[in-house]
Amino acid sequence: MASELVYTVFPTAWGALGAVACGGELISVVLPHYQPDDLEALLTFRHPGAVRSDEAFRELTRLCRAYFNAQVVSFDDIPHRLPAESSFAGKVLRACRAIPYGRTLSYSSLARDINRPEAARAVAAALGKNPVPLVVPCHRVTYSDGRLGGFSAAGGLPLKRRLLDMEARATDRRL
């Protein structure tokens, strides 16, 4: 990705997805929910000065299209920017990245994973500010009893349920 502030909007099987990068690192992903023109307006409003560069997102586009076609993919090689590793949010988001496709983990388990067992609510709050869903698969985090919990992406809990159901079906096919 180029060193400037760039964005893209591209179609997937679930609708338009948007992304923004700065200095070659992904800084924002907007999951399918908006019409393409509305999504482009949203991205340019949130990131003034960003220029469209579909080419800069070629690999992300390929992976997202495969993902929304229920293919098991990994976003591990997509360069992205997260809060500092030493920060609470940075620890939460990095730990969340380790949740495998088709699996879930509870907020309390994630809190234990970062050695903050009392911080399940704070974990949920940090995930609610995740700037790069899919790359950091926050949709894979649920309550201990299996209820969905929250999901701050446009589309809310119905989108979270749909993502989890798709991943479960995709991994069932692979067994």
Interval 31-63: pLDDT, tens: 999 999 999 999 999 999 999 999 999 999 999
- pLDDT, position 172: 84
pLDDT of 102:
94
Q: What is the pLDDT of residue 72?
A: 95
Report pLDDT for 157: 95
Catalytic residue among 22, 64, 96, 138: 138
Per CATH, the architecture of 88-174 is what? Orthogonal Bundle (1.10)
Q: Is 101 left (phi over 0), alpha (psi -120 to 50) or beta?
A: beta
CA angle 96, 98, 102 (to 5 degrees): 90
> How far is Cα 26 from Cα 131, in angstroms, rounded to an integer?
9
Burial degree of 157 (CB within 10 A; 0-12, 13-18, 19+): middle
Residue pointed to by tokens 């409003």:
45
Q: For the chain (length 175 residues), average pLDDT per consecutive 10?
A: 82 97 97 95 96 97 98 96 96 97 96 97 97 97 94 93 95 65
pLDDT of residue 175: 42
What is the per-residue pLDDT for 28?
97
Cα separation, 173 vs 175, in Å, equals 6
3-class SS letters over the chain:
CCCCEEEEEEEECCEEEEEEEECCEEEEEECCCCCHHHHHHHHHHHCCCCEECHHHHHHHHHHHHHHCCCCCCCCCCCCECCCCCCCHHHHHHHHHHCCCCCCCEEHHHHHHHCCCCCCHHHHHHHHCCCCCECCECHHHEECCCCCCCCCCCCCHHHHHHHHHHHHHHHHHHHC
Domain residue ranges of the chain, discontinuous segments joined by +: 5-67, 88-174
34 within 8 A of 16, measured Cβ to Cβ:
yes
CA end-to-end span of the chain: 36
Note if the pTM is more than 0.75: yes
The answer to whether residue 64 is catalytic is no
How many other C-beta atoms are found inside a 10 Å radius of the C-beta of residue 49? 7
